[in-house]
Structure 1
């Protein structure tokens, strides 16, 4: 399924009434993982109140030990500080990388802003080296933009 075909499906999930935001995020994780071949782990991390750390939110894929990530540590922690998308074509070449699984070859993290504040991020791991393009970034920015409307 193309990114353009997925966009209305993301909106449909987020527009459901009587469904908690957390459940909507789980559904989005499933939608992306099930429809984009190289998305092997899809999840969200959110800022932990006033603490400079991220906590694991809804996700699909292999379980992870990384339930809390300090700002600056790993790709997610770096995005929490930089407020910028981070695409890692090959995690083996990245110094400040937290290994989640030996099968992970690449990662993309896109921050989630609400009222101009970085409150979290979507994090996607792939078992393929260098699969992520600018189209992935734009699509994930769209997804986060739609999610931000639910806060």
Structure 2
């Protein structure tokens, strides 16, 4: 399904005020994970600034032991500090990678900003090496902009 068609579905999910923000984010994760063939795990992490940790709030895919990630650790922890997108074509080439599954070959993490502050991120793991294109990056930035509106 092209990203343009997914935009409509994301907008519809987020507009459902009868569900909590966590429920809507879980639905977004499920939509992306089930629709985009190389999105094998999709999750939203949110920052606890005082503890300098990220906490998993919503996800779709295999359960993970990494529900809390310290700032600076792994790809997610690095994005919490850098405030920049991070695309990893081959996780084996990263020395600061936290392995969630032996099947993960690539990862993309996009920070989520609210009122100009990095409050979290969307994290995508793929079992396909180097699957992410600039279109994925732009689409996920848009998803985060939309999610920020319900937080």
Match in the other structure for 2:96? 96
Match in the other structure for 1:144? 144
TM-score, structure 1 normalization = 0.98
Distance, in Å, in 1 between the alignment partners of 2:121 and 2:103 is 22
User: Cα RMSD over matched residues?
Assistant: 0.7
TM-score, structure 2 normalization = 0.98
Deviations 1:27-75 (A, max 9, x none): 0001101110000000011012522110111101111111111100000
SS state at 2:130 partner: coil
Unpaired segments of 5 or more residues in structure 1? none
Match in the other structure for 1:82? 82
Alignment: residue pair count:
151
Match in the other structure for 1:66? 66
Distance, in Å, in 2 between the alignment partners of 1:107 and 1:129 is 9
Distance, in Å, in 2 between the alignment partners of 1:146 and 1:11 is 8
Unpaired segments of 5 or more residues in structure 2? none
Structure 1 runs of 4+ aligned residues shifted over 2 Å read none
Match in the other structure for 1:37? 37
